[in-house]
Amino acid sequence: MKKLSLLLMFLISAWTAQAQFIQYYEMTFKDANGNLWPSNLTLEVTNTDSSTNGQAFYDMAYSGYYGGNTGTYRIIDSVTIPASYTGNQISFSVNVCGTTVQFDTVLSQNSTIAHVFTLPCTYTCDASFNYGIDMFSYLSMSSTDVNSAHAWYLDNVLISNSRTHGQYITGAGNHLLAHTVKQGSYCQDSSVQMIFVDSSCTTNLDYNVMSNNNVEFIANTWPAGRNCQLNFGDGNMQNFTSSAVDTIYHQYAAANTYTAYLTIFGQGCIDSTFRTFNTVTQNCDASFTKTWLSPFQFRLTRNDSSVGTSEWVISGPGINSTVTGHNITVTLPGAGNFGFRCNVLVNNVQACYTTQSTVLNNCGKVGFPAGYHGQVIFPTSFMTAYDSAKVYRIAYDSVNQTLTALDSLVIYNQDSGWFYFEDCDYNQRNLFKAALMPGSSLYSSYLPTYADSAVLWSAAREFNPNNNFGIQIHMIAGTNPGGPGFIGGYINQGANKNGAGLDGIQVTLFTATDQPVAFATTFNAGRYEFSNLALGSYKVLVEIPGKTSSIHYVTLSQAKQSADDLNFEVNSTDISVLNSAFAVRANLFKAYPNPVAEKLTIESTLGEELTFVRVMDIQGKVRVVQMRQAGPDKLELDLGGLESGVYLIEAGNDQLISRLRIIKQ
């Protein structure tokens, strides 16, 4: 707003008469820039003269706006005085800018004297305004600026030049209301506000009839902040301001049929709805039990069916049905969020209701699908140059220490290592493994790796839906300085498979200190080979999901630079190590009790002497235990010092060997 500083100038003109002098004193108000003061001022004038002969030259004065918009005021003095009187002293004050400013001056008869005064304030224009809109879209607005010229615009169209105005608005939505004020060329101001007119109000009224003629009303209204009225239908009503959900209780005088009306209004909209119901003296209970039976199937049972009949409303993706009966079975069409509502009907009119909801995943089980997000990580230079890799989701059985492949997917350079699996089992413990595809340029450099960074599954990290984000598989590179060494063998299928070779089985080679070296995949009837190896000690491991693994130990030296008899036999529950020095018998001995807490008895079953017994953990490491002779062809092993888990017992002589898996509690 433009502010003006004031100066006061008196322009005094005098007229004379023989018996009576009538003086007109004209005063013009200007700002510091010489502009006329634009608005009407009120002057209060007092005669303060006590001069010659006790005559008061100035005894009456009034002020008023004079001369249109010129900013000029006139004070009139009419008194009979001697012609010889020369002056009159007055004091006047001006109310301006919220304060009173006082000036003293002398008005001289028959002369013009200019007086200049600076007022300590400025003049402003104020376009701020108030407005309101009622339920019928009647808009009213007003301004407090009484001195300025006004202009009102609605959606850029001039609608009024008055200080106050009112009119109806047509059309829902947002409307722009603008107000401008102006005082000639001295000041101007403008203000705008956005006015929203609702396209519609909505109401929904639900209820529960309770005992002793009490009713619970559930009012769903939109939008919030509007005036609402609930007429209970018995001569009583309640007013309230709408929110998302309002719960209101009312007790009726007697059991009867009533109709309640809900109305919402304001901001240009109005809507109403009604519900008819029967009140009851006994308790109306619509609560129910929801039982999952099988994928996508539930049983719904009302807890107390003593009042009324039961009506069920089932809604959700692909279903919207109504079924009657106190106990029903419902089959849902697929995954999604489903609602179940039980309406209790008395005389075919709803008395009370209860709702429940359920989210089903793609397996038809309760709960949202579990998602596993992760990334296969290589050194930075290879993150988009690994060509292709396969990621596996593997179920981990912690009791039997076995793995079962569940799902897999292939990722490519453009994926930057990112992968995602969806799961439905919230109790499943998962391992994640990545292996480069044979066509990858890095295939021979990186071993198949478990998250977070492990070659053996026993060292892998477990995941479940509670920690399903941020899975990282840091790929492990093999270390082989090269040399004349060679390791090879076969993987055959045992039991009744007659030693048939198994192709496509992963074989992993470690140093004796568990440093990964390389991996190979069996081919040509179960054949695997590792060549160009440095001399030293190695471990050869075969890992098949669902089988307990075993390990071959071998040392390559100058005297023995190759080992080509490190064979494995895959049985129904485990993988056994074989070589040409032994004939494997499945029933050479028995071990009991199994599971075992401390003492394990090893007993020969074929009369063969047992010259050695070894206890190995699932990583193939031989564990030292105490043993003693417990009788003919019997040995007792003390396993009390071992951790709980799965172990492999290997026993035999220089001709025969057998293996059994036992569980240590």
Residue 277 tokens, joined:
């119901």
**Residue 218 belongs to some domain of the structure:** yes
Q: What span, in angstroms and rounded, lies between the C-alpha atoms of 205 and 215?
A: 12
Does 209 lie in the same domain as 176? no
Does 227 lie in the same domain as 191? no
Residue type, position 366, single letter: V
**Residue 322 belongs to some domain of the structure:** yes
Cβ pair 89, 142 in contact under 8 A: no
We report the CATH number of the domain holding residue 597 as 2.60.40.3080
CA dihedral 475, 479, 484, 490 (to 10 degrees): -30
Beta strands in 558-655 (DSSP E): 562-563, 567-570, 575-578, 583-584, 589-592, 599-604, 612-616, 622-623, 626-631, 634-638, 645-652
We report the CATH number of the domain holding residue 326 as 2.60.40.10
**Residue 457 belongs to some domain of the structure:** yes
**Residue 48 belongs to some domain of the structure:** yes
pLDDT top residue among 155 and 544: 155
Cβ pair 208, 64 in contact under 8 A: no
Does 208 lie in the same domain as 180? no
Q: Read off the pLDDT band of 526 (50, 70, 90).
A: confident
Does 87 lie in the same domain as 33? yes
- Domain total for the chain? 7
- What is the per-residue pLDDT for 324? 94
- What is the per-residue pLDDT for 198? 74
**Residue 365 belongs to some domain of the structure:** no
**Residue 105 belongs to some domain of the structure:** yes
Does 193 lie in the same domain as 134? yes
Question: CA distances (Å), 190 to each of 37, 127, 129, 394, 490, in order?
Answer: 20, 5, 10, 70, 92
**The model scores a pTM over 0.75:** no
82-101 confidence digits (pLDDT tens):
555 455 555 666 666 556 66
Residue 543 tokens, joined:
């890992």
We report the CATH number of the domain holding residue 447 as 2.60.40.1120
**Residue 182 belongs to some domain of the structure:** yes
Last residue of one domain, picked from the residues 98, 122, 146: 122
**Alpha helices for 366-524 (secondary structure H):** none
Residue type, position 142, single letter: S
Last residue of one domain, picked from the residues 122, 143, 159: 122
Rg of the chain on CA atoms, in Å: 50
263-293 confidence digits (pLDDT tens):
888 777 778 888 888 887 777 889 999 999 9
Q: What span, in angstroms and rounded, lies between the C-alpha atoms of 372 and 365?
A: 18
Cβ pair 467, 489 in contact under 8 A: no
**Structural domain that includes position 59:** 5-122
- Phi and psi at residue 641, in whole multiples of 5°? -85, -5
How is residue 621 annotated by DSSP?
A: P
Does 519 lie in the same domain as 456? no
- What is the per-residue pLDDT for 125? 82
219-254 confidence digits (pLDDT tens):
988 888 888 999 999 999 999 988 878 899 999 988
CB count within 10 Å of CB 307 equals 19
**Residue 283 belongs to some domain of the structure:** no
Does 609 lie in the same domain as 567? no
Does 12 lie in the same domain as 111? yes
Does 458 lie in the same domain as 387? yes
> Which of 255-269, 321-335, 587-601, 650-664 has the lowest average pLDDT?
650-664
Q: What span, in angstroms and rounded, lies between the C-alpha atoms of 106 and 85?
A: 13
Single out the residue of 311, 316, 252, 306 nearest to residue 284, CA to CA: 306
Q: What span, in angstroms and rounded, lies between the C-alpha atoms of 610 and 27?
A: 134
Could you tell me what percent of the chain has a pLDDT over 70?
A: 75
Q: Classify burial at 43, counting beta carbons within 10 Å of its beta carbon; exposed 0-12, middle 13-18, buried 19 or more.
A: middle
Does 206 lie in the same domain as 188? no
Cβ pair 346, 276 in contact under 8 A: no
414-460 confidence digits (pLDDT tens):
898 999 887 777 677 889 999 998 888 888 889 999 999 988 777 88
Cβ pair 267, 197 in contact under 8 A: yes
Q: What span, in angstroms and rounded, lies between the C-alpha atoms of 279 and 282?
A: 9
Last residue of one domain, picked from the residues 329, 360, 391: 360
Beta strands in 286-348 (DSSP E): 288-294, 297-302, 309-316, 319-324, 327-331, 336-346
Residue 260 tokens, joined:
């309640």
Does 376 lie in the same domain as 348? no
Single out the residue of 458, 435, 382 nearest to residue 620, CA to CA: 458
Does 649 lie in the same domain as 571? no
